[in-house]
Amino acid sequence: MVVSSRSFRLATAAVLAVLFALPYTGAPDFYLSYLYIVFFWAALATSWGVLSGYAGYWSFGHAAFFGAGVYTAAGLAAKAGLPFLLTIPLAAGVSAALAGAIGLVVFRLKSLRGEFFALLTLSVTYVVAAIVSNTPIDGGGGVYMSQVPLPTFGTSVPGAIYLLGLLLAVGALAVSRQVLRSRLGAGLLAIHDDEDVAEVKGVPTLRYKLAAFAISGAIAGAAGAIQAAYVGYVTVGDTFSITVPLYVVLMSILGGARHWAGPAVGATLITVALSLFVGGNHAELGRAGVALALIVVILVLPQGITPRLLARFRKEEAQARPARPARPAALTLAAARPASGRPAAAGDGPLLECRGVTKRFGGLQALAGVDLQVRRGEILALVGPNGSGKSTLINMISGHFPLSSGSIELDGERISLLEPHEVARKGVARTYQIPRLFEHLSVFENVRLCAVFGGEGDQPLEDPDALARHWLAFTGLADKAQQLPAALNLHERKFVEFARALAARPKLLLLDEVLCGLTPSEVDQAVDLIRKIRAGGTTIVFVEHVMRAVVALADRVAVLDQGRLLALGAPQETMRMPEVVDVYLGVAHAA
């Protein structure tokens, strides 16, 4: 059965109206408290999902931000006499500031990702707990909230806490949904799949991770403030318990951490299951049964319950639509249009200039003072034996690696000191020798993301959806738009790389061995595609070993050997030079 989005919105509004009216209907305090617990865990799990679910930075230290909120509210309300409602935003602010301060240090270190980030955040919990326990904030005796006057909102105190919990849960879900559907959310999902590529594609990864961490901490802090009023007596042991992060992680995974509603769904299911099966004389057996059921569900639905249900709903919705005529499976290139609005005339002066570009990796010198100019509108091929520094030079230009010395200028502006996402905003786009697509995003979402973050300025000049559709058609992948990258073959994955780079509307396109692994017919298609790109006005630098493609495409060829520029000139003449034959083609091949 297909449910329209309008019907869903109406049903959601009706449910919310009933929930907000519940305290005013004389509902027993027991049921209000029970529902508050559901709202509390839903909000806390949702806050975890903003950073850990979207960006993939798993935090086991969520209790630190929750606890900071608890003790901010308890200290200000019970000791300083501030109105309780005022302590909620203050608690959110303290927790957000704590998350931001940690992020400013941790997110700058590439070594602190994955399990190292998880362990570090867990250690932060113990540090915060020790500080609270050994200072007047708690002092070891706990903080009583029983004498703090709480608002009633025209109902009882349990009813007021219920309403605050409901408002927090709805607010957390609204914030998480807005984040996911925003530019920030698109960047976080890209960070989740491949942070280094996301940065090169124009995503300001440090800023976005800090924003997500602060939002996550703020919601957790607000949840802690309300929870302090609910429990009435806060202690370090209960507040900073390891069960807090473990529960929110489990809830988020069960419901689906990459969807805004997933953690709340998981929190509701686990909270209800625990209340139903862990009471009575067989509490331990009940816990074991719930744990076993959770393991089975997670194994069967690794992406979570919510994404699976939504996928089924979309499948039914698609089946209900009239069938469209089948399109041919062969790749057909659409007409080109200018990617940068510049004419495709070579020789208008240098667009890119490399001066003394040097790169060392410890004791290994990959580039040794390369001087190279790329003329506006030309196709320049970088060739040379393996290990000569071709891909390293591409990485230097795109900002993927910092220079050891030298400088790189684009349109007369130095870009070698910029972060990779800033280089992308200047009009530089690249592909990878081995396609590095965002594996959890569809083909359309991969291309759309580059349309959003690529190009000059903070906002795309054209509709990102229209740009994505155009470049998918241009590369012959329109029929693959809704598929995940795992369903594509190598040829198609490389053409998705083309579409992503072109969606960024670059001045300069860097292609790193895009023909590697393709069949002769696929090479011909790729050559045709590169010609169309150049005709659209884009300057191209490409690394390649397929010599017939180099000769067919390049205006000039730059030969690298052992990190140095060996030769530069027209393809036919350059490839016949004796020194080039010796280091690259070999005497037998030349003969």
The per-residue pLDDT for range 328-337, each reduced to its tens digit, is: 334 444 444 4
Burial 315-348 (b: 16+ CB within 10 A, else e): eeeeeeeeeeeeeeeebeeeebeebbebebebee
Q: How far apart are CA 116 and CA 325, in angstroms?
A: 51
Compare 312 and 85 and report the one with higher pLDDT.
Answer: 85
Q: Match 């006499």 to its residue by tokens.
A: 81
Confidence (pLDDT) at 348:
60
CB atoms within 10 A of CB 281: 7
Nearest residue to 43 (alpha-carbon basis) of 226, 286, 313: 226
> Which 3 state secondary structure label does DSSP give 140?
coil
410: enclosing H helix or E strand: strand 405-410
Q: In Å, how far from its chain's centre is CA 286?
A: 38
Q: In Å, how far from its chain's centre is CA 562?
A: 36
Question: What does the mean pLDDT of the chain come to?
Answer: 87
pLDDT in tens, 446-481: 999 999 998 765 555 678 999 999 999 999 999 999
326 — pLDDT class (breaks 50, 70, 90):
very low
40 — pLDDT class (breaks 50, 70, 90):
very high
Confidence (pLDDT) at 589:
45
**Helical axes 62-74 vs 205-231, angle rounded to 10°:** 50
Q: How far apart are CA 134 and CA 115, in angstroms?
A: 29
Confidence (pLDDT) at 3:
54
Nearest residue to 394 (alpha-carbon basis) of 513, 497, 263, 276: 513
pLDDT above 90: percentage of residues in the chain: 59
Q: How far apart are CA 453 and CA 459, in angstroms?
A: 8
Residue 322 has pLDDT above 70, yes or no: no
For 328, half-sphere exposure in the C-beta direction (CA atoms, 13 angstrom radius) is: 6
Q: In Å, how far from its chain's centre is CA 9?
A: 28
DSSP tag of 340: S
Q: What's the pTM?
A: 0.89
CA-to-CA dists, residue 308 to 78, 101, 249, 312, 486, angstroms:
46, 36, 18, 6, 18
Residue 325 has pLDDT above 60, yes or no: no
pLDDT in tens, 178-193: 999 999 999 999 999 9
The stretch 92-120 carries a mean pLDDT of: 89
Q: How far apart are CA 99 and CA 109, in angstroms?
A: 16
The lowest-confidence range among 142-146, 234-238, 297-301, 392-396 is 297-301
516 — pLDDT class (breaks 50, 70, 90):
confident
Q: How far apart are CA 566 and CA 583, in angstroms?
A: 10
Beta carbons of 43 and 169 less than 8 angstroms apart = yes
Sheet (strand 539-543) strand order: 428-430, 508-512, 539-543, 379-383, 556-561, 564-569
> Which 3 state secondary structure label does DSSP give 402?
coil
Start and end residues for every CATH 3.40.50.300 domain found in the chain: 345-590
22 — pLDDT class (breaks 50, 70, 90):
very high
pLDDT above 70: percentage of residues in the chain: 90
Q: Which two tokens stand for residue 295?
A: 């393991």
Strand partners, 560: 565
Which value, in Å, is the radius of gyration of the alpha carbons in the chain? 29
Domain 345-590 coded CATH 3.40.50.300 = yes
Residue 323 has pLDDT above 60, yes or no: no
Q: How far apart are CA 513 and CA 382, in angstroms?
A: 10
Residue 483 has pLDDT above 90, yes or no: yes
pLDDT in tens, 335-374: 444 444 444 455 567 899 999 999 998 888 899 989 999 9
Confidence (pLDDT) at 459:
52
109 — pLDDT class (breaks 50, 70, 90):
confident
CB atoms within 10 A of CB 161: 26
The lowest-confidence range among 153-157, 191-195, 250-254, 324-328 is 324-328
Q: Match 């529902």 to its residue by tokens.
A: 35
The stretch 314-320 carries a mean pLDDT of: 61
CA angle 86/89/94 to nearest 5° reads 120
Tell me the residue type at 546.
Answer: V
Q: How far apart are CA 328 and CA 479, in angstroms?
A: 9
Confidence (pLDDT) at 340:
46
Confidence (pLDDT) at 587:
57
Q: How far apart are CA 457 and CA 64, in angstroms?
A: 37
590 — pLDDT class (breaks 50, 70, 90):
very low
